[in-house]
Amino acid sequence: MYLAGQVSWDTEGNLAGRDDVAAQAEKCSLNIAAGATAADLATVTVYSVDLDEAKAEQFVIGRDRAAATLGVEFQQPSTWIEVASLAAPGYLVEVEAVAVLP
């Protein structure tokens, strides 16, 4: 299953975690987990606005918070791509993933 363009939005479609990479990464990870578990994920691609080491570290912090909430570990291979912008102002990260479901 291909999960494309997961951004940090809440159940009402509003941006969650404005200006906070860790909060957005956490929400993206939780949203992806709604359809699959971390164990189902084969690969992950992260698109980040103005990617730098600090943002990458914040993404990992947010992803790990989501993992703790879900009681899982995210260990699949990932690719990081820097982009000029995402779908709407305020979005700092977008995640797409490939999951293999039983």
Q: How much is the pLDDT for 41?
A: 85
DSSP 8-state secondary structure symbol assigned to residue 73: -
> Global pTM?
0.82
Domain that holds residue 14: 2-99
Instruction: Return the closest-CA partner of residue 37 out of 4, 76, 7.
Output: 76
Q: What is the DSSP letter of 41?
A: E
Segment 20-39, tens digit of pLDDT: 999 999 998 888 876 677 77
Q: CATH no. for residue 85?
A: 3.30.1330.40
Q: What is the mean pLDDT of residues 3-21?
A: 90
pLDDT tens figures, 61-73: 998 998 888 888 8
- Per the structure, the count of domains in the chain is 1
Angle (CA) 3 100 24, round 5°: 35
Cβ atoms 91, 59 nearer than 8 A: no
What's the chain's Rg over C-alpha atoms? 12
